[in-house]
Structure formats: structure tokens, C-alpha cells
Amino acid sequence: MAAISSFRPTSLAAARVHKRWPSHPFSTSCSTAGQTSGEPKPLMQNHLVLYTKPGCCLCEGLKEKLQVALFLTGPNSLCSVNLQIRDISGNPEWERLYQYEIPVLARVLPDGTEETLPRLSPRLGVELIQKKIAAALEN
């Protein structure tokens, strides 16, 4: 059985954002402010999967930045993103596919298949990560 871990922020900035997280830590919700009709508009839910393993410092860094990026507002808002974190050590197939590549971020397509997104440099800031993911989800 594959392990899916929850995230606990380690930096002070991430800890501040963590206090505002909804009850499900891997999905976000958008405000309906500015809508003219009484009915909220349905949002298309985007799904991302982050493949990691315990003890991977690159994985921990990206995981933390992704959690913060999901809650930033602005033109590249990721308010419709659901992030699932998968531990490859709990699944032989994932370990075979990703053992030398983690962290791996993948987008779940409407047909259920996954498309691996381009690797994000560990030096990127949260805002740039948000912008790159928003651009990848538009395609």
C-alpha cells in the first residue's frame, strides 16, 4: 500500500500560511467575490501529484514551496489545485519510475493519466513556482 503523507511547514512563513489552510490541506478554494450572479461559478479542479520519499531534502523544499504557492493570490492563483503527495517508497512501481528523479511533479489529465511537468529548480522562489505551475495548467 502506498503512503500518502501530509505536510507540516517548517519555515515561519509557511507556518503563517498553514493557519489559514482549509480542513483538507491539499486543496484550496477561491473566493466568489466579484461575481454578478447569485450562484457560485463551478471551478474546474486541477490535480497535481508530487512524488517524494522520506529524507529527500529537495522533496521537502519543493513540498513546502508548493503548499505556500497554492495559497498565494494574484493573476497566477492556484486556487483550483488539489495537490496529492505520494511516497514512492511505499509503491514498487512508483519507486521504479521515479527513484532517480524525485521530486517529480505531475499533472493528472481528465482521462486519469499523468503528465510529468518540467522539473522546478530548487532555487526558484514561491511566486515563480506559482507562475510556472499556472502556465503548465493552462496548456
Residue with cell 509557511: 14
Number of other residues whose CB lies within 10 A of the CB of residue 23: 5
Residue 44 confidence (pLDDT): 59
Structural contact between residues 81 and 118, judged by C-beta atoms closer than 8 angstroms = no
The structural domains of the chain, with segments of one domain joined by +, span 44-138
For 44-138, CATH gives 3.40.30.10
pLDDT in tens, the chain (139 residues): 455 544 434 443 433 333 333 333 444 444 434 433 444 334 457 899 999 999 999 999 999 999 999 888 888 888 888 999 999 999 999 999 999 999 999 999 999 999 999 999 999 999 999 999 999 988 7
86: which strand partners?
A: 51
How far apart are alpha carbons 24 and 115 in whole angstroms?
24
